[in-house]
């Protein structure tokens, strides 16, 4: 008879990680690990082994999110269509064409002589002259590169949301739900017509994923990752999205940092200092340009393109005001748009219900933080319709130079997605 000793904990864990079932000792036939190997005639590197032990066991949600992202845009990719409408057509396409010409000629794109009598180009942060992903515009035609980057950033938003919620909840199901809720939210998909805004919104989850990793295990590697991601968002997107991300990032850091006050502030100052040094080549020209801006500093100007109270129904029902695509948009509209059809802020009824459940039933710091973040972002997106906007304009430096407070719905949407994941994890634990 063989040794009746049951497998050790190490052997059981190895079995789970390798995807092989535990077998009784008497059936091991020389295999002392107590773990069945791959079927005879096969190899550990076979397709079935890879699917079972790697993708299906650990990484299948990420693979699923990649497939969903590709499937969502497949009609545009296979039919040769792009996203050349809105700001992509009127601003991004000509700007990236100019950038590509200047870089190909070996020149820094400092000045654009083709607009009016000439305007600063590099100093305008929204032109993203130093964005690392601009390499795509060098390798491909501009419309093709914009389509590829659109798919990439939507996929990145979903995958990094998954990673962040996985850190918070240790639940694949909860993380997957949050990833789908934010990656395919009305806010993110509406930004497809402006690659500049899309990149800023899509990088919000990666910023918080990097920060959470740093807070859990402070060290050089996690600090470098966090600083790199902050630089990537600042250089690759509209500055407004970086600013709004920082508004949530600072309190998050101070609330969740696990060390004493002095150490927290030292760490924060070190990260901010290194970040500012790295982006100085873009930041300094931008600050000089903004100092000479002739933009009005009034509340009326700053609150242009704000979320209106009568738009609240569309946050729950996406097509309450119709659709621009089929010409059914209705409502007061604005100077440039017909009706009030818009998907910014739309998250779907199911994620909203789960977010509400998390706000009421999950007594954790994370749920309270994201609940407050969602409420504040929603209220501030109303612009001049609440006194909060005027207070922030008076208190926060540079805030008065920004307009379109509706863009804060990017933070609101991310917060709702995180709350939905926390609510799902709570339901999972109750069921278990």
Nearest to 201 by CA among 248, 240, 168: 240
Portion of the chain with pLDDT greater than 90, in percent: 59
- Other CB atoms within a 10 A radius of the CB of residue 223 amount to 17
Q: Which residue has the higher pLDDT, 42 or 146?
A: 146
Torsion of CA 179, 183, 188, 189, to 10 degrees: -150
Spatial contact of 74 and 124, defined as CB atoms under 8 Å apart: no
- Quick: pLDDT tens for 291-339: 887 777 778 888 888 999 999 999 999 888 888 777 788 887 655 566 7
**Predicted confidence band at 50 (pLDDT cuts at 50, 70, 90)?**
very low
- Quick: pLDDT tens for 182-207: 999 999 999 999 999 999 999 999 99
Map residue 293 onto helix, strand or coil.
coil
- Quick: pLDDT tens for 372-404: 999 999 999 999 899 988 888 888 877 877 888
pLDDT of residue 260: 54
Name the average pLDDT for the chain: 84
- Structure pTM? 0.85
pLDDT of residue 264: 72
Q: What angle do CA 287, 290, 294 make, to 5 degrees?
A: 165
Q: What mean pLDDT is predicted for residues 112-140?
A: 93
pLDDT of residue 44: 46
pLDDT of residue 11 exceeding 70: no
Q: Which residue has the higher pLDDT, 76 or 276?
A: 276
Distance of CA 230 to the CA centre of its chain: 12
pLDDT of residue 42: 44
pLDDT of residue 357 exceeding 60: yes
Strand partners, 120: 111
pLDDT of residue 121 exceeding 70: yes
Q: What mean pLDDT is predicted for residues 130-148?
A: 93
pLDDT of residue 336: 53
């Amino acid at each position: 008879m063989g040794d009746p000793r049951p497998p050790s904990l190490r052997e059981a864990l190895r079995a789970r990680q390798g995807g092989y079932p535990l077998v009784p000792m008497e059936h091991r036939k020389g295999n002392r690990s107590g773990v069945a190997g791959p079927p005879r005639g096969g190899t550990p590197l076979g397709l079935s082994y890879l699917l079972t032990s790697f993708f299906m066991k650990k990484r299948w949600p990420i693979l699923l999110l990649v497939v969903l992202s590709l499937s969502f845009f497949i009609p545009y990719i296979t039919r040769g269509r792009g996203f050349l409408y809105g700001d992509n057509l009127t601003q991004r396409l000509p700007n990236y064409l100019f950038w590509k010409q200047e870089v190909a000629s070996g020149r820094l794109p400092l000045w654009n002589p083709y607009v009016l009598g000439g305007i600063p180009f590099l100093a305008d942060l929204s032109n993203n002259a130093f964005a690392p992903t601009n390499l795509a515009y060098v390798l491909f035609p501009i419309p093709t590169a914009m389509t590829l980057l659109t798919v990439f950033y939507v996929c990145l938003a979903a995958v990094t949301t998954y990673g962040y919620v996985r850190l918070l909840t240790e639940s694949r199901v909860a993380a997957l739900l949050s990833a789908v809720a934010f990656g395919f939210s009305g806010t993110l998909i509406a930004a497809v017509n402006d690659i500049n805004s899309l990149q800023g919104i899509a990088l919000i989850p990666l910023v918080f994923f990097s920060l959470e990793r740093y807070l859990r295990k402070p060290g050089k590697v996690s600090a470098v990752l966090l600083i790199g991601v902050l630089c990537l968002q600042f250089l690759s997107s509209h500055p407004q999205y970086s600013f709004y991300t920082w508004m949530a990032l600072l309190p998050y850091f101070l609330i969740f940092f696990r060390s004493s006050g002095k150490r927290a502030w030292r760490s924060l100052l070190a990260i901010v200092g290194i970040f500012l040094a790295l982006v100085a080549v873009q930041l300094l020209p931008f600050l000089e340009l903004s100092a000479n801006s002739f933009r009005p500093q009034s509340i009326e100007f700053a609150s242009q393109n704000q979320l209106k109270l009568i738009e609240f129904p569309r946050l729950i029902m996406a097509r309450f005001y119709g659709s621009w695509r089929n010409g059914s948009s209705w409502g007061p509209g604005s100077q440039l748009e017909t009706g009030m059809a818009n998907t910014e802020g739309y998250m779907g009824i199911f994620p909203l219900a789960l977010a509400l459940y998390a706000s009421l039933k999950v007594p954790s710091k994370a749920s309270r933080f994201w609940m407050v973040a969602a409420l504040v972002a929603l209220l501030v997106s109303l612009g001049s319709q609440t006194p909060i906007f005027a207070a922030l304009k008076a208190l926060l430096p540079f805030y008065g130079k920004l307009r379109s407070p509706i863009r804060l719905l990017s933070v609101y949407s991310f917060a709702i997605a995180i709350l939905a994941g926390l609510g799902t994890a709570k339901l999972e634990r109750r069921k278990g």
